[in-house]
Structure 1
Amino acid sequence: MIPKFFRGTLWTRHSLISHRVRFFSTCVPESDEASFGCYSVILPEEPFVWGVSHIVPRTVPSGIRQPSYARTLAKDKPTLHAIRSGQSRGPYEDDSRIRLGSEEETKLRASSKLARKVREYAGTLVRPGVTTNTIDAAIHEFIVARGAYPSPLLYSGFPRSCCTSVNNVAAHGIPDDRPLQDGDIINIDITVYLDGYHGDTSQTFLVGTVDEPGRELVSMTNAALQAGIDVCEPGRPFNAIGHAIHALVRNTTYSVCNALSGHGIGRVFHQPPWIYHTLNDEPGVMRPGHCFTIEPCIVQGSNPRIWIFPDGWTASTENCARSAQAEHMVLITETGAEVLTL
């Protein structure tokens, strides 16, 4: 599927209506619109193609250990969006704590280290003219060459090995054949499955020469991630992360997407604790051995709502404002917190 792209300022009046998708943008005041900058707006190609069954997944060598969902794909599993937004809740055997100093920790650190290497490699691939499908193919080969499995592949039917979210796409963009354009921003979300443990991280990269509003958005996103990390320590409530990010963003021209959340990670891709990046009353306290992701999605303007493309995965901001996301894995230790994917 090759989406349509439109070069110019933010669309302020348009609608996409069908029997399965309904989208209305909000009229943005001209002063706010101008501050959003100039960039390509991403919309699904017409005529719409529902789902992703037409996309052929990449193959993984049989000798590489695969997660259970890749071996037996259940049709009734929730989408990655549903799980990452906290809409799917288990059942789970535990709260994702690992035994510090054990083989569990060693394996978790190894998967996290590989995820970081893949993220850094992904950044070297980003340049004008390269397609996200080419990036995905290179990332796939990089991961399997190191004896790991690309976790997004076949997760609830997701057809690619990473998520590539460009400009107004907030999350879960499916790599396709559209070339990146000078001035784009792209989030590449990486997860690897190595020796029974997942490592998860992402970053928003600049494509060529990006305008000032785009660069500032990415900078604010990285600052929001760091604000969340800074409050992590044993005994702190999980909701302190959302409160810290809220305090940073509340008096700015940005908003935080509340449809996406961080999550516990380890042997399972997504599990409790759920990490919300806005003000929340989520229960629970950080304890030694907890490992989870923090991954705030920051949006230009005051409308953080999203809508889903007909493919069932790609999540765009409602008014097509740009968004950016950054993600790290955090391990709570006896004395503090350690960022495993840094």
Structure 2
Amino acid sequence: MPRNALGHLVPGRVSPMRSVPKDIARPEYVGKAGPKPFDGSDVYSGEKVELIRESGRIAAQAVEAVGAAVRPGVTTEELDQIAHEFMIHAGAYPSTLGYRGFPKSSCTSLNEVICHGIPDDTVLEDGDIINIDITAFKNGVHGDLNKTFLVGEVREDVAALVEGTRESLNRGMKSVAPGRQLNVIGRAIESYAKRFGYGVIRDFTGHGVGEAFHSGLVIPHYDAAPRFDAEILENMVFTIEPMLTLGTPDKPGSIAWDQWEDDWTVTTRDKSWTAQFEHTMVVTARGVDVLTLP
């Protein structure tokens, strides 16, 4: 079982990439070192928004299908198989599969893993938490979300962190309005997190999504004023995906992290546990319309 003597996660065995039927359209980056630069817009027509909503719904339903299987004794590899098969059955391509070499159809991030955990033979244990991050590609667009699940009986402070992270996403979404600056989102999230002494991960952010998996638009989850002062526009599509931790900054404004040799898995340096929630949304005249609902 890939955990060390202290119970911290270590890399496990990763199985070969799963196949995708030839009749399912691939994103342009599949089979390449990386995606081509995105030169489009983060503002979408109503018709294109509905296509993103379709991809988002598939991804959201896949997350729920995986979440229903989360329990002690299950491996993250088994969870990834559920995600993969669900999207394939829906006629969608798993966006992470082959993205910059990522080998799986979902990200499974446990306990101290902040994000980008690669599914492998890690066995879920009672008391763990696991973030399931899934993006589906269909009709030329991506829909992206993630959700943190409890595994069995979880410590009270860990359960509170998970619920607090969910609420921080809600606070971030409620701050969105056309004409405001992007940095209001992070300000709302960080001010909420500070009330409970949670750390906020700064180096991994929300992003523009739709025709591109990551468009280049950055959505910080901390108070980034006066940086990131771009105006929020109606019909703009992006993700908000705060990552909060039980750890505190080791220096002002910074949560230290490490990346495994797989070039993907990111963990807190102090091994403090972390949770994350994400939605893809479109900006409306009154706020946001979430595009990643089951």
TM-score (ref. length: structure 2)? 0.93
- Which residue of 1 is the match for residue 32 of structure 2? 73
Aligned to 2:136: 192
Aligned equivalent of 1:307: 258
Q: Which residue of 1 aligns with 2:170?
A: 226
1:1-342 correspondence to structure 2 within 5 Å:
3-6=2-5, 40-44=7-11, 55-70=15-30, 72-74=31-33, 77=34, 91-100=37-46, 102=47, 104-280=48-224, 281-303=227-249, 304-342=255-293
- CA deviation after TM superposition for structure 1 residue 138, in Å: 1.3
Structure possessing the higher radius of gyration over alpha carbons = 1
Tell me by how many angstroms 1:93 deviates.
Answer: 1.4
Q: What is the identity percentage for the equivalent residue pairs of Structure 1 and Structure 2?
A: 40
Contact 2:247 2:273 in 1 (8 A): no
Offset at residue 96 of structure 1 (A): 1.4
Code of the aligned partner of 1:41: H
CA contact (8 A) 1:263 1:292 kept: yes
1:6 Cα deviation after fit: 4.3
Equivalent position of 2:252 in the other structure = none
Q: CA deviation at 1:235?
A: 1.1
TM-score when normalising by structure 1 = 0.80
Larger deviation, residues 114-123 vs 142-151: 114-123
1:109: Cα distance to partner?
Answer: 1.3
What SS does the aligned partner of 1:188 have? Answer: strand
Q: Deviations over 1:250-277 (max 9, x none)?
A: 2322110111000000010001321000
Structure 1: which 5+ runs fail to align?
A: 8-39, 79-89
Q: Distance in 2 between matches of 1:322 and 1:229?
A: 24
Aligned-residue RMSD, C-alpha: 1.7
| Deviations 1:25-75 (CA, angstroms, capped at 9, x unpaired) | xxxxxxxxxxxxxxx421346xxx9xxxx75211100010110111x312x
Alignment-mate amino acid for residue 228 of structure 2: E
Runs of at least 4 residues of structure 1 off by over 4 A? Answer: none
Residues matched between the structures, number: 286
Q: How big is the shift at 1:202?
A: 0.4
Unaligned stretches of 5+ residues in structure 2 = 250-254
2:238 is paired with a residue whose SS is strand
Contact map agreement 1:3 1:42 (CA 8 A) in 2: yes
1:128-182 deviation per Cα after TM superposition (whole angstroms, max 9, x unaligned): 0000000001110111011000000000000000000000011000001121000
